[in-house]
């Protein structure tokens, strides 16, 4: 596994990292009302989160986003690891899009106006997957 991010990966890693980190910082500054909103959406899509306190959930989510954003922005974190973490996190966010009512047009995959903010998380899945695949494919080429 390559220890430093490749130079051409850094623009996307920095931009996505800054976006994710900003989202996390916003959640760390949450009010009780916004914590209830985040938790309400999450527990609707993922019922196992019902038992968590809304404020604790939102604080942990914010901390995870800050850590993920930092991992993406720091070139010392291998792209395979940063990409895998982004893919997993964005997969959970994309699950909200698929599971929450009213996010998609009936019988389809196209987002409703309310679903567009969640539908954009599919881009993060694509970016994370691309980072992972590049590293896996390059490692295979290096072995030949």
Per-residue pLDDT tens for 109-127?
999 999 998 998 999 999 9
Neighbour tally for 18: CB within 10 Å:
13
pTM of the model: 0.90
- If you average pLDDT over residues 57-81, what whole number do you get? 97
Look up residue 112 and give its DSSP letter. P
Spatial distance between the Cα atoms of 10 and 97, rounded to a whole number of angstroms: 28
Spatial distance between the Cα atoms of 85 and 100, rounded to a whole number of angstroms: 23
Residue 1: per-residue pLDDT: 65
Spatial contact of 79 and 72, defined as CB atoms under 8 Å apart: no
* Share of residues in the chain with pLDDT > 70 (%): 95
Q: What long-range pairs does 115-118 form, CB within 8 A, spacing at least 24?
A: 118/93, 118/94
Q: Give me the half-sphere count of Cα atoms (radius 13 Å) on the Cβ side of residue 134.
A: 17
**Is the pLDDT at 94 greater than 70, yes or no?**
yes
Give the domain ranges of the chain. 7-143
């Amino acid at each position: 596994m390559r220890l430093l991010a490749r130079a051409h990966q850094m623009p996307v890693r920095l931009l996505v990292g800054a976006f994710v980190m900003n989202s996390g910082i916003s959640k760390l500054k949450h009010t009780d009302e916004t914590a209830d909103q985040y938790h309400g959406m999450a527990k609707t899509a993922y019922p196992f989160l019902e038992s968590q306190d809304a404020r604790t959930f939102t604080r942990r989510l914010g901390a995870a986003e800050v850590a993920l954003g930092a991992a993406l922005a720091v070139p010392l974190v291998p792209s395979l690891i940063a990409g895998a973490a982004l893919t997993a996190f964005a997969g959970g966010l994309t699950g909200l899009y698929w599971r929450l009512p009213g996010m998609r047009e009936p019988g389809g995959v196209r987002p409703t106006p309310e679903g567009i903010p969640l539908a954009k998380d599919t881009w993060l899945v694509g970016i994370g997957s691309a980072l992972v695949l590049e590293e896996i494919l390059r490692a295979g080429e290096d072995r030949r």
